[in-house]
Amino acid sequence: MRKLPAKLASQLYGAAELIAERGLDGTKIEDIAEATGIPKATIYYHLDGKNAVLEFLLSDLLDMIAGAVGVAVSSSEDARTRLEAAVLAQLGVMLEHPFLCRALVGDLGRATRLPELAGALRTAFYEPIEQLLAEGVSDGSLRQVADPGAVALSVFGAITVVGLSAAVEGPSVDPSTAAVRFSAAVSDLVLDGLATPGSRDQRRGEPL
Amino acid sequence: MRKLPAKLASQLYGAAELIAERGLDGTKIEDIAEATGIPKATIYYHLDGKNAVLEFLLSDLLDMIAGAVGVAVSSSEDARTRLEAAVLAQLGVMLEHPFLCRALVGDLGRATRLPELAGALRTAFYEPIEQLLAEGVSDGSLRQVADPGAVALSVFGAITVVGLSAAVEGPSVDPSTAAVRFSAAVSDLVLDGLATPGSRDQRRGEPL
DNA sequence: TGTTGGTTTGTACTGGGAGTACAAACTACG
DNA sequence: CGTAGTTTGTACTCCCAGTACAAACCAACA
């Protein structure tokens, strides 16, 4: 898979909506050719088939997410603040690209079975969070939990599902406003939890 | 799609691992026939094709989850406690059926495009939580949040992603122990949050 | 026992679409 | 011009889902 020329790359995005709508299987190569204006023969000249089309689109999305989150995470604030920033960054990118997100949900299975993508998925979504939780414990802005791995996974799940679900609901008029709204909800949950002060009865000994 | 006889139904589960491993597309009907011992012609006599196989398997999984969560939710405890029970119940079923879960992730797109399943998915996963959060506010065991819908979605995401990821990691030796462990982590996060007491600086005015 | 109606299964076929082969045209650069 | 990469149309091949159908099988029941 040689790196394909910028022009073709940009045309390929025209296929995202199609794939999002019908899934990769429901989308014929001919359809992609028609939607993008790139003839079938040319597609096959550059890419190794349908999967490669999806792989190209999704790895791009994952790069964007990883990039945005990376920036958010590397400020000099405390970990708690950076976590909020990371949540916002991830949701921002996701809402900015609803079709890619829908394609991702739709062919998640195939995506996880494509080795490159599986790794990129981890890098984009999961690792920054895991990292941040650890740093939060060090700098005292986040509390220690019993099972950091599982908790990081939960946080990752909370963010991602909100983002995907928003994408599936359909493109929003104003993605960045929506991102702010959703990220507030997620951060609220993840930082402060749902228990009322009165019902916080079984903490593991740290003072209230 | 007439209701298919119990014997065939049970045989069909033999296809779950196959589908989980390779995805529905990577699985030929002939493979399913071989794995289950049900000849292709018989499969087609009862089911409307490959999708129907998946649909059958998944709707069963979703029923199990909806059932277990339903039980957990309908005790007479306060909402907070029932939420914990629901988390445990959902993860319990998911870890009990890793192959079905993997098939679900793998063909999530197709699943959401199958109208019956999309509804069942919502019923099994999302609605009970949404309900519970509302009840928690009434009975005082959970706090009020600004955007209940988005928060419910986050909680749903946290649970589900943990479950799916555990399923993808491979079947565990002792599913119910694993379920307890994971549900503890999720409940811990969802109820108490990650902020340290010192950093709880921007709550919306409710007293600490 | 024969008859009827559903189920089971093997075999052979059809059709659609992914991917391939290939040659002709086009482009760029020396 | 010549050489090398790219673009594209056309015409394939091949695989596999789904269908057709007929023969067997298995009740129940008169």
**A23-50 pLDDT per residue, tens:** 999 999 999 999 999 999 999 999 999 9
Helix (H, G, I), strand (E, B) or coil at B142: strand
Nearest residue (CA) to C1' of D10: A41
- One-letter identity of residue B34: E
Question: What is the mean predicted confidence (pLDDT) over B65-85?
Answer: 97
Contacts 24+ apart (CB under 8 A), A9-15: A9/A56, A11/A36, A11/A37, A11/A38, A12/A36, A12/A38, A12/A53, A12/A56, A12/A57, A13/A57, A15/A53, A15/A57
| pLDDT of A205 strictly over 70 | no
pLDDT of residue A200 exceeding 90, the answer is: no
The answer to whether A158 faces chain B, any CB pair under 8 Å, is yes
Cβ-defined contact of A199 to B78 (cutoff 8 Å): yes
pLDDT band at A201 (very low <50, low <70, confident <90, very high): low
| Chain B residue closest in CA terms to A193 | B193
Q: What is the pLDDT of residues A85-108, one digit of tens each?
A: 999 999 999 999 999 999 999 888
Q: What is the pLDDT of residue A9?
A: 94
Tell me the domain boundaries of chain A: 58-194
pLDDT average, residue stretch A67-92: 97
Tell whether B174 lies on the interface with A, counting CB pairs under 8 A: no
Q: Do B151 and A194 touch (CB under 8 A)?
A: yes
Across B93-120, average pLDDT: 91
pLDDT, tens only, A158-186 = 999 999 999 988 889 999 999 999 999 99
pLDDT (tens digit per residue) in B133-161: 999 999 999 999 999 999 999 999 999 99
How distant, in Å, are the alpha carbons of A137, A139, A193, A207, B107 from that of B198?
12, 12, 15, 11, 44
Whether A82 has a pLDDT exceeding 90, the answer reads yes
Show Cβ contacts of residue A77 under 8 Å, excluding neighbours closer than 6 positions: A85
| Mean pLDDT value of segment A124-143 | 95
Find, in chain B, the residue whose alpha carbon is nearest to that of A198: B141
Q: Are B96 and B163 contacting, i.e. CB atoms less than 8 angstroms apart?
A: no
Q: Label residue B198 exposed, middle or buried (CB < 10 Å: 0-12, 13-18, 19+).
A: exposed
Summarised one tens digit per residue, pLDDT across range B19-44 is 999 999 999 999 999 999 999 999 99
Percent of chain B predicted with pLDDT > 90: 82
The dotted CATH code for B52-193 is 1.10.357.10
**Position of tokens 């069942």?**
B120
Q: Which CATH superfamily is domain A58-194 in?
A: Tetracycline Repressor, domain 2 (1.10.357.10)
CB B112 within 8 A of CB B98: no
Tokens 């990220």 correspond to what residue?
A: A183
Q: A113 at the B interface (CB within 8 A)?
A: yes
Average pLDDT of chain A, as a whole number? 92
Contact in structure between B205 and A156 (CB atoms under 8 Å): no
Q: Which residue of B has its CA nearest to A203?
A: B192
pLDDT score, position B129: 96
Per-residue pLDDT at B200 exceeds 80: no
> pLDDT band for position B171 (50/70/90)?
confident
- CA at B2, C1' at C1: how many angstroms apart? 33
Rounded to an integer, the average pLDDT of A109-119 is 88
Mutating which of B77, B125, B133, B194 best tests the A interface, going by the most A Cβ atoms within 10 A? B194
- State the Cα angle at B193 between B191 and B196, rounded to 5°: 135
